[in-house]
Amino acid sequence: MTQRRVRILHAVGTMDPGGIEVWLLNVLKYIDRDLFEFHFCTFGPHPGLLAGDVERLGGRVLPCPRGLNPWSFGRRFRKILHEGNYDAVHSHVTLFSGAVLRWAQAEGIPMRIAHSHVSQDDKPDSHARRYYRWTMKSWIDRYSTRGLAASQIAAALLFGDAWETDRRFQILHCGIDLLPFQDSVARDQVRSELGVPAGAPVVGHVGRFELQKNHRFLLEVFGEIQKRVPNVHFLLVGDGPLRAQIEAQSDAMGLSGKMHFVGIRTDVARLMRGGMDVFVFPSLFEGLPIAVIEAQAAGLGCVVSDTVTGEARVLGDQFTQLSLSKRPEEWAATAVEALQRGKAEAGLALQAVAQSDFCIQRSIPTLSNLYVTPGA
Band (374; pLDDT cuts 50, 70, 90)? low
pLDDT at position 258 over 80:
yes
- Give 292-348 pLDDT, tens digit per residue: 999 999 999 999 999 999 999 999 899 999 999 999 999 999 999 999 999 999 999
In this prediction, residue 3 carries a pLDDT of 73
Burial pattern 110-123, b for ≥16 Cβ within 10 A else e, equals: ebbbbbbbbbebee
The rounded distance, in Å, linking the Cα atoms of 190 and 374 is 49
pLDDT at position 267 over 50:
yes
Q: Are residues 200 and 326 in the same domain?
A: yes
Give helix then strand counts, H and E, for the chain. 14, 13
- Give 199-221 pLDDT, tens digit per residue: 999 999 999 999 999 999 999 99
In this prediction, residue 2 carries a pLDDT of 58
The rounded distance, in Å, linking the Cα atoms of 301 and 57 is 34
Q: Which domain holds residue 310?
A: 179-354
In this prediction, residue 253 carries a pLDDT of 96
Q: Are residues 76 and 192 in the same domain?
A: no
pTM here? Answer: 0.92
pLDDT at position 286 over 70:
yes
Parallel/antiparallel/unpaired status of strands 301-305 and 278-281 = parallel
Q: Are residues 334 and 363 in the same domain?
A: no
- Give 16-31 pLDDT, tens digit per residue: 998 999 999 999 999 9
Position 239 in a domain: yes
Q: Are residues 128 and 82 in the same domain?
A: yes
Q: Are residues 339 and 195 in the same domain?
A: yes
